[in-house]
Amino acid sequence: MTTDGEKVDTTAFGLTAADASASGRENALDQSDINWQFFEASLDGVKILDREGRLLFVNGNGLKALEVEDFEAILSRRWIDLWPDASRADVEHALAQACEGTSARFTALRPTQKGTVRWWDVVLSPIKNEAGEVVSLMSISRDVTPSLTLADTLRRSEQQFQALANNIAQLAWMADATGNLFWLNKRWLDFTGSTLETSLGQGWRLFHHPDHVARVVDKWQRCTQEGRVWEDLFPLRGSDGVYRWFLSRAMPVRNGKGDVELWCGTNTDVTDARQQSQRLRKLARIIELSHEAMLVREIGGGIAMWNRGCEELFGYTKRQALSKTPAELLQPHNIPQPDAFDQQILAGGAWSGEVHYIASDGSDVWVDSRQELVNIGDKNFVLETNRDITDRRQADEVKTLLVAELNHRVKNTLAVVQSIAAQTARCSQTPQKFVASFNSRLQSLASAHNILSDVAWSGAPIIDLIRSQISVMGADEGRVDLRGEPVNLPPQTGLQLALILHELSTNAIQHGALATPNGRISISWSIEEGDRRLVELCWRETGGPTVAPPVGRGFGLTLIERSRSLPNIKTSISFDPSGVKANVVLEARDDSTASNLFNPGQKLLRPRVTPTAVQRALQRNVLIMDSSLSRAVLLEDMLDTGNYGVVGPLATASAAIEALAQRPVDLIAVDVDEVGDRDIDRLIELLDERGLPAVAIGTSGRLAQIKAGAFAALVAKPIDQSLFLRAVGTALQDDDVDFDDPLI
């Protein structure tokens, strides 16, 4: 019998080992015997054994399979000795069974004589004589190494596939060409807590949220009918009854003709990522609405985020700031060059300090800046938080200037007091007279200081100076006539005039018009406009005693005469017999230019013009029509960055039309790859009726097929955020959009 089960006449095979050894292989068989010819023609290895298992005959293919070149090398060897120890048990069992008259079959490993590993399928059959006695054995061996190797490879591949499919993080599944599931991995069964029988076919619908299942089924059926890649975002119920969000995708597997044979799909749990994304969007919204100036910039690149606080502090809109570097936009003065500064942040991970920026209106803005390195993927960003300290910096500078100014004024005042003391002492004959005169002059100086302090040393009203000096001397103001228009004098000029008026008043009380009951004083002044604004003051005494020129030169006369050489005051005095006359020409304060003559801090204290906050239009609402929820979420994030409201996403034209009827919408963004021409025409007709603009999003090929003129703007995939926001701004005719910039 062959390995294929074909019976062979074995009655002529009563050879003995002695016969085979004596006659050789060629003489041991009759070449005319059809049975021997059959064995030689067999593709299998045929061997004849005696009852002790010694080899008597091996056909040509058997020798080739064994890689034996000369049969004499194995003649009379025990067949069992050709097998390795691992296969001996199977061989011995087969020999015993064949010797008892029963055929045996086994598969075992046996290397060739040259060591080549081979697997053999062996049938060992008894050869009986006419009396039914077993006289020899016949072994038919077939090399099954290729088939076993293939089977082992398939088995290993199946094990690897099962191991991979059941241990990946995703829920994996396969469906036939019509969309019915026929395989689910262990992850799916473990998550849902279901069985294969429950979930196969259309059973998977049981685990979808009732609010989403109709939409998911509708899209899945359309994709399987059209052979398009399927992608969706939806919640699935777990074995604990809790729904989690999954991003799902299925690819069609096609045959050589291009027909879909099956679908391979995965569901990826994105619940945590989705919640994180929502938290990040809320955080970004909080940052956006914060009045603290916060921005994000890329190391070596431009500004990626610019919140409302930055707009209010620096005066630049978000569109003006995005993509520009802080160095070119804000021109920082007191930090290193951008490259060196970035290297410093990269090395330390953070930086803090005070930075001097320039706002959009050119004004100085000082900030307390905190800059922190943030790694996102393979990119490095810097989160910069700025607190406005401009007022504090200005206050510090003013304080420094005021201290310096105070020192200057104290020194000047002490110098004046020292001069007054020296001149008074020189003109006083007794200590008592010195004390009286010196105290009187100090009171005059103090009175002038009080007036200047009341107006923050910005300028002294002339009439207040005159009245203060008359009051200090105790003169009767009813005997003094004052005439002149209101005018202010610079602080230093006012002090000098106060000292002159004090000396004139003292002389009038002691020796002049106010020394007699009927004497009077007339003080008048007028303003002369010219290259310099001047005040001409005239002092005239009448009704007093006859005046004679002084014999000596006291402090008062010396003070008046020396004032002639001062840059901002000119004086003259005459001793007419009818009364003393004095003329004083002073430089008046010019309110338009002289406000800082004696107050350098006033410039720093001027109110800083805060850049006008960006005027925000009412938030526009954009309806997203896109059946791909993952892409719709991306568009929603982009629109939120641009401060637009979002409606949707919506998968069908009917749903979009219904949404338009229920909620105010300013613009619709349509993914034309996901919408047929008929639905696009319906939408365009409705939008024309309502006067609403639309933006088309799609591949370049699809955009070339639609009626592009019906859309306000076109955006090609892959979608770029700045491009998309520019398209939306163009469609809504925002003022700060460059309409000449091409959209594609």
pLDDT for the residue numbered 614: 42
Contact 440, 433 (CB under 8 A): no
pLDDT for the residue numbered 452: 59
Percent of the chain beyond pLDDT 70?
75
pLDDT bin (cut points 50, 70, 90) of residue 606 is very low
Share the mean pLDDT of the chain: 78
Contact 8, 38 (CB under 8 A): yes
User: What would the pLDDT profile of 72-94 be if each residue is shown by its tens digit?
Assistant: 778 778 888 889 988 889 999 99
Report how far apart, in Å, the C-alpha atoms of 509 and of each of 444, 447, 468, 478, 480 are.
Answer: 15, 19, 15, 14, 12
> Domains in the chain, ordered, with CATH?
17-144 (3.30.450.20), 168-269 (3.30.450.20), 280-376 (3.30.450.20), 396-602 (3.30.565.10), 621-731 (3.40.50.2300)
Burial class (CB in 10 A: 0-12, 13-18, 19+), 630: middle
Query: What φ, ψ does residue 389 adopt, rounded to 5°?
Result: -125, 25
Q: Name 430's Cβ contacts closer than 8 Å, sequence gap at least 6.
A: none
Query: What φ, ψ does residue 104 adopt, rounded to 5°?
Result: -130, 150
Helices (H) and strands (E) in the chain, counts: 24, 27
pLDDT bin (cut points 50, 70, 90) of residue 590 is low
Sheet holding 480-483, edge to edge: 480-483, 520-528, 534-542, 579-587, 569-576
pLDDT for the residue numbered 475: 66
Q: What is the 3-state composition of the chain as percent helix, strand, coil, each rounded to the nearest 5?
A: 45, 25, 30
Residue 100 has pLDDT above 80, yes or no: yes
CA pair distance 346, 351, nearest whole angstrom = 10
Residue 616 has pLDDT above 70, yes or no: no
AA letter at 197: E
Structure tokens at 297: 């910039």
- Region 281-305 average pLDDT: 77
User: What would the pLDDT profile of 632-655 be if each residue is shown by its tens digit?
Assistant: 777 877 887 677 877 766 666 777
C-alpha 473: how far from chain center: 76
Residue 106 has pLDDT above 50, yes or no: yes
CA pair distance 192, 239, nearest whole angstrom = 5
pLDDT for the residue numbered 337: 87
pLDDT for the residue numbered 504: 83
- Give which of 695, 234, 629, 665 is closest to 656, Cα–Cα: 665
CA pair distance 469, 462, nearest whole angstrom = 11
pLDDT for the residue numbered 259: 92
Range of 268-282, 307-321, 452-466 with top mean pLDDT: 307-321
Beta partners for residue 369, in sequence order: 353, 386
Q: Name 499's Cβ contacts closer than 8 Å, sequence gap at least 6.
A: 416, 420, 441, 444, 445, 448, 559
User: What would the pLDDT profile of 220-244 be if each residue is shown by its tens digit?
Assistant: 999 999 999 999 889 999 999 999 9
pLDDT for the residue numbered 175: 92
∠ CA 36-38-40 to the nearest 5 degrees?
70
CA pair distance 94, 271, nearest whole angstrom = 63
User: What would the pLDDT profile of 474-492 be if each residue is shown by its tens digit?
Assistant: 667 778 888 988 888 887 7
pLDDT bin (cut points 50, 70, 90) of residue 290 is low
CA pair distance 558, 441, nearest whole angstrom = 14
pLDDT for the residue numbered 496: 78
Radius of gyration of the CA atoms of the chain, in A: 56
Across 124-133, 619-628, 710-719, least confident range:
619-628
Contact 721, 644 (CB under 8 A): no
What is the signed CA dihedral for 600, 601, 604, 607, rounded to 10 degrees? -120
Secondary structure in 3-state letters for 722-741: HHHHHHHHHHCCCCCCCCCC
Percent of the chain beyond pLDDT 90?
11
CA pair distance 570, 500, nearest whole angstrom = 11
- Give which of 542, 435, 431, 536 is closest to 484, Cα–Cα: 536
Across 127-131, 170-174, 385-389, 558-562, least confident range:
558-562
User: What would the pLDDT profile of 500-544 be if each residue is shown by its tens digit?
Assistant: 887 788 788 878 888 888 889 899 999 888 778 888 889 898 988
CA pair distance 258, 260, nearest whole angstrom = 7
Contact 325, 384 (CB under 8 A): no
What is the signed CA dihedral for 79, 83, 86, 92, rounded to 10 degrees? -10
pLDDT for the residue numbered 262: 93
Contact 716, 698 (CB under 8 A): yes
Residue 205 has pLDDT above 80, yes or no: yes
| 301-306 contact pairs (CB < 8 A, 24+) | 301/325, 303/329, 304/381
Count the neighbouring beta carbons within 10 Å of the beta carbon of residue 176: 15
Query: What φ, ψ does residue 383 adopt, rounded to 5°?
Result: -90, 115
Q: Where are the beta strands (DSSP E) in 110-205?
A: 119-128, 134-143, 171-176, 181-184
Q: Is the pTM of this model over 0.75?
A: no
- Give which of 651, 652, 627, 626 is closest to 639, Cα–Cα: 626
**Better-scored residue on pLDDT, 590 or 233:** 233
- Give which of 109, 108, 115 is closest to 68, Cα–Cα: 115
- Region 569-598 average pLDDT: 73
pLDDT for the residue numbered 345: 87
Range of 30-34, 62-66, 440-444, 597-601 with top mean pLDDT: 62-66
Residue 111 has pLDDT above 80, yes or no: yes
Beta partners for residue 587, in sequence order: 534
pLDDT for the residue numbered 64: 85
CA pair distance 266, 171, nearest whole angstrom = 5
pLDDT for the residue numbered 2: 45
Q: DSSP 3-state assignment of 667?
A: strand
pLDDT for the residue numbered 356: 92
pLDDT for the residue numbered 243: 93
Residue 26 has pLDDT above 50, yes or no: no
pLDDT for the residue numbered 595: 41
pLDDT for the residue numbered 630: 63
